[in-house]
Amino acid sequence: MEFEKIPTIPTADEILDRSLRRAAKNKKLKTNRDLANEDFVRSVYSSVYDKLSDSVQKFPNFDELSPFYTDIVNLLFSIDKIKHSLGAIQWAGEKVREVGGAYARQMRGAPDTNALRKQATARISSIVQQVDKDLKYLNEARNVLRKLPDIRPDEFTVVVAGYPNVGKSSFINLVSSATSEVAGYAFTTKRIIVGHHEVGRDRIQIVDTPGILDRPVEERNDIEQQALAAITNVADMILFIVDASECCGYSLEDQLKLMESIKEITKGVPLEVVINKSDMKGLEGYRNMSTATREGIHDVVALLREYLASSPKNLTARNQPENRE
């Protein structure tokens, strides 16, 4: 995921301190005072420019984000504000190079290069300090965005829903081809689980969203409502898990009411109901499984594969040669 590649964004003071220390160290090696002052300025503005430019370039192109991540980033911060800060930092880098280069050229043959060196350093410092708030804002965004779960909209995605303790994470761990990824959800206090089930050249991406699809609509705050919209936009199917034994702490009636409310707000997305803990109590008229004994798990996986087979995201089907008579 592109967000993981964003490095820590230094503050204005950190950028200036590192650049000035490096330039001062190199200056000591010069015997000609005037050349040493010129090289000092060139070293400072080059180092500052490189650090500012690197901070900008390591952020992804927000115009190329998937709708899912566009929604999530706007939910957490503001893409427009991030772009504004990136633009301000890019401007500062260009301005530092312009000003520093002008002072370095002015030093050649100047009678007092010490004064020009001090002036150049002050101008460069002033420019960088102007974007300190932008640097801090981008680092705040970076610290949150890099922890977002890696959900790939190009893969067939099953979003698992249901009340807490019905066995959602157990199901994902059982059917995943590798260890499930657990990542922070910046808009809830919970942890999201993402598993993958390999099917030939394809993968079924299975997502559990604690705090989003595990309680009635009226109990969600505004941020969670927006997150719900983003999650359902990426879902190709919703698997609603019910605990008919009610050992989860929620009545069967309440669980089915939650299912109906989710079905209402996710119109257009197929929703399938599966009864878990069938070793304790099953329910006629539904698919039953037990994550404890693994009974019925194969049938549920087969259901997911059926949905994948008919999906436009099915790579295997897309690459099959057409039948020709």
For the stretch 248-277, pLDDT in tens is 999 999 999 999 988 888 888 999 999 999
CA distances (Å), 71 to each of 67, 176, 215, 234, 322, in order?
Answer: 6, 27, 21, 11, 37
Answer whether residue 20 shows pLDDT above 60: yes
Measured CA to CA, the distance from residue 162 to residue 186 in angstroms comes to 21
For the stretch 118-141, pLDDT in tens is 999 999 999 999 999 999 999 999
CATH number of the 156-316 domain: 3.40.50.300
Answer whether residue 203 shows pLDDT above 80: yes
Cβ burial of 18 (10 Å; 0-12, 13-18, 19+) is: middle
For the stretch 25-34, pLDDT in tens is 877 656 688 8
Measured CA to CA, the distance from residue 52 to residue 261 in angstroms comes to 48
Which CATH number fits the domain 2-145, given the four candidates 3.10.20.90, 3.40.50.720, 3.40.50.280, 1.20.120.1190?
1.20.120.1190
pTM exceeds 0.85? no
* Adjacent-strand bridge partners of 156: 204
Answer whether residue 243 shows pLDDT above 80: yes
CB proximity list for 64: less than 8 A, separation 6 or greater: none
Ranges in the chain annotated CATH 3.40.50.300: 156-316
Answer whether residue 68 shows pLDDT above 90: no
Answer whether residue 175 shows pLDDT above 70: yes
Ranges in the chain annotated CATH 1.20.120.1190: 2-145
